């Protein structure tokens, strides 16, 4: 797989480079104008972007935001992203009037060496996510007409067979951006020869979302610590009542099988923080997992669980963490995620935060990002890589030049 640095070494000055970036940031529009609440993905795109600018490339950035229904929708415009990117680069980043039409062409034609423009949300085009190869191909042709070279730095999208991720790379000479190369290196270290003990921490709401990665990783890890809403289906499989907690009844038998196969590898919470409702001023009760009251919901792991998980992490040499331990967005339920995140950061070895809500939690809770070996930008892509699946965006980069 060729890298952007190899591309730069060959010479990109004056060339138009289509850079697929992952700028899918959370927005808060409750006060009117949308405000970016976490610019981590934008900042993660800067090393590749700056390298191309400094080498004299004319950089055309393509990205998506949210899930518009294949047509322009002002709620999902990349205008706030263009403004933030301009601030971070200290240079104007004009937003094209469209994704790959006359507005995009005009924006690209106005670029000088070292300049950057941003195309409007690629998902404003229905063909971007189409299952029809010809439809995606036609859009990829329009993208390819805007550039001489293609660089994919959107790790969070490499598991998608989309026009701007997969098809355009078959049409232009291509390379992996620095972020994609780093993600690939780190995840390969997790799968091929991790230092031991190797501990995986999984949270989030549903077992069904993590089932494939649990099945794939159980034979490879020394311990698997399970928290978040998904732990209650495992607890139910052990015969415990879970009150009003999140429960996937159709996964109970699967969890029972996994517990039997894993022996003592799977470690579950011993206490949970419960409340009647998911509200910011909830009255909370900490209870052992075998005594959850019928009228309460488990919404975070308890302090004894944080201590237990901390002990299992203390001697780890490799850790992968994906998914919060509770509803960390609300103050009464932050302690579990904060405690486990702190224990992961203290690991003497490689600690990887697997993107998505875990990365958001690190930033929202004010934890130092440099305390971790790597914070992934792609939760879904990270999990699919660890499951052993082929990711279309990576597979096409490994092919020959377009």
Cβ neighbour number for residue 282 with a 10 Å cutoff: 19
CB-based contact 381:156 (threshold 8 Å) = yes
Q: What pLDDT score was predicted for residue 364? A: 86
For residue 54, what is the enclosing H or E element?
Answer: helix 40-54
Task: Kindly list the averaged pLDDT for each block of 10 residues, start to end, along the chain of length 402.
Answer: 96 98 92 88 96 98 96 96 97 97 98 98 98 98 98 96 98 97 93 94 91 92 96 97 95 96 95 94 95 95 98 97 94 96 96 87 89 89 90 89 42
Report the side by side order of strands in the sheet with 297-301.
285-288, 271-275, 297-301
Residue 357 is predicted with a pLDDT of 84
**Which residue in 61, 76, 70, 60 sits closest to 129, CA to CA?**
70
Write out the two tokens for 246.
């999140």
322 contacts 359 by C-beta, under 8 angstroms: no
Select which of 16, 41, 136, 223 is catalytic. Answer: 41
Alpha carbon 401 to chain centroid distance? Answer: 27
DSSP characters over 100-162:
SSHHHHHHHHT--TT-EEE---GGGSGGGG-S-HHHHHHHHHHHHTT-SEEEE--GGGTTS--
343 in Cβ contact with 332 (< 8 Å): no
Pick out the residues of the known binding site: 22-24, 41, 64-67, 123, 160, 210, 298, 329, 355-358
196-348 placed in CATH 3.40.50.1980: no
Neighbours of 332 (CB within 10 A): 18
Task: Tell me, yes or no, if 356 is annotated catalytic.
Answer: yes
Which candidate in 2, 43, 189, 206 is catalytic?
206
pLDDT number for residue 401: 42
Residue 401: CB atoms within 10 Å = 12
**Which one is catalytic: 156, 243, 326, 380?**
380
The residues that bridge with 322 in the sheet, in sequence order, are: 202
CA 12 – CA 8 distance, rounded (Å): 6
List, as residue ranges, the binding site for substrate.
Answer: 22-24, 41, 64-67, 123, 160
Phi, psi dihedral angles at 365 (to 5 degrees): -85, 0
Cα-based distances in Å from 221 to 35, 120, 262, 318: 40, 42, 10, 10
- Alpha carbon distance 274, 267 (integer Å): 20
For this structure, is 41 an active site residue?
yes
User: Token digits for 225?
Assistant: 């610590």
3-state secondary structure of 251: helix
- Residues tagged in the binding site annotation for (2R)-3-phosphoglycerate: 41, 123, 160
Tokens of 275: 């409340």
Widest Cα–Cα separation across the chain: 67
Beta bridge mates, 116: 59
Q: Encoding tokens for residue 258?
A: 């996994």
Calculate ∠ Cα 22-40-326, nearest 5°: 105
Give the pTM: 0.89
Whole-angstrom Cα distance, residue 394 to residue 184? 9
- Nearest Cα neighbor of 44 from 22, 61, 20 is 22
The answer for residues whose C-beta is within 8 angstroms of residue 316's C-beta and 6 or more apart is 197, 198, 199, 222, 223, 347, 349
One of 227, 228, 354, 356 is an active-site residue; which one?
A: 356
Distances (CA, A) of 261 to 199, 215, 250, 257: 17, 10, 19, 6
| CATH node for 4-183 | 3.40.50.1260
Helix (H, G, I), strand (E, B) or coil at 217: helix
Bond preceding residue 197 cis, omega within 30 of 0: yes
Q: Is 178 a catalytic residue?
A: no
Residue 400 burial (CB count, 10 A) = 8
Per-residue tokens: 28: 């808060």
Instruction: Answer for the pair 284, 273: CB distance below 8 angstroms, yes or no.
Output: yes
Measuring CA to CA, which residue among 380, 382, 359, 372 is closest to residue 26?
359
The CATH 3.40.50.1260 domain(s) of the chain lie at 4-183, 196-348
Which residues participate in the annotated binding site for ATP? 210, 298, 329, 355-358
- For residue 177, the model assigns a pLDDT of 98
């Amino acid at each position: 797989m060729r890298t952007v640095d190899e591309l730069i070494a060959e010479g990109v000055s004056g060339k138009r480079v289509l850079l697929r970036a992952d700028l899918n940031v959370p927005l808060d529009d409750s006060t009117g104008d949308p405000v970016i609440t976490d610019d981590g993905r934008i900042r993660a795109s800067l090393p590749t972007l700056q390298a191309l600018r400094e080498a004299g490339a004319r950089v055309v950035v393509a990205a998506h935001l949210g899930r518009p229904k294949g047509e322009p929708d002002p709620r999902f415009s990349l205008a706030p992203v263009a403004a933030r990117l301009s601030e971070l680069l200290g240079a104007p980043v004009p937003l094209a009037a469209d994704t790959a039409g006359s507005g995009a062409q005009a924006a690209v034609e106005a670029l000088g060496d070292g300049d950057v423009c941003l195309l409007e949300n690629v998902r404003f085009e229905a063909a971007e996510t189409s299952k029809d190869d010809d439809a995606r191909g036609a859009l990829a042709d329009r993208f390819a007409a805007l550039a001489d070279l293609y660089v994919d730095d959107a790790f969070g999208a490499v598991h998608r067979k989309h026009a701007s991720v997969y098809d355009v790379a078959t049409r232009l000479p291509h390379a992996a951006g620095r972020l994609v190369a780093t993600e690939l290196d780190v995840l390969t270290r997790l799968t091929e020869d991790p230092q031991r003990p190797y501990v995986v921490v999984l949270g989030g709401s549903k077992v069904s979302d993590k089932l494939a990665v649990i099945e794939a990783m159980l034979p490879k890890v020394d311990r698997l610590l399970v928290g978040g809403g998904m732990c209650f289906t495992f607890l139910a499989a052990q015969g415990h009542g879970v009150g009003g907690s999140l429960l996937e009844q159709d996964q109970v038998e699967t969890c029972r099988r996994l517990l039997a196969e894993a022996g003592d590898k799977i470690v579950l919470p011993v206490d949970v923080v419960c409340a009647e409702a998911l509200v910011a001023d909830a009255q909370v009760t900490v209870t052992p997992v075998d005594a959850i009251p019928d009228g309460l919901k488990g919404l975070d792991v308890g302090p004894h669980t944080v201590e237990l998980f901390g002990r299992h992490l203390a001697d780890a040499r490799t850790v992968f963490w994906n998914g919060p331990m509770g509803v960390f967005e609300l103050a009464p339920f932050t302690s579990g995620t904060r405690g486990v995140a702190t224990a992961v950061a203290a690991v003497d070895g490689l600690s990887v935060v697997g993107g998505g809500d875990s990365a958001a939690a690190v930033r929202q809770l004010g934890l130092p990002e440099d305390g971790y070996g790597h914070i992934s930008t792609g939760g879904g892509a990270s999990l699919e890589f660890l499951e052993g699946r082929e990711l279309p965006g990576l597979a096409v980069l490994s092919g020959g030049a377009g």
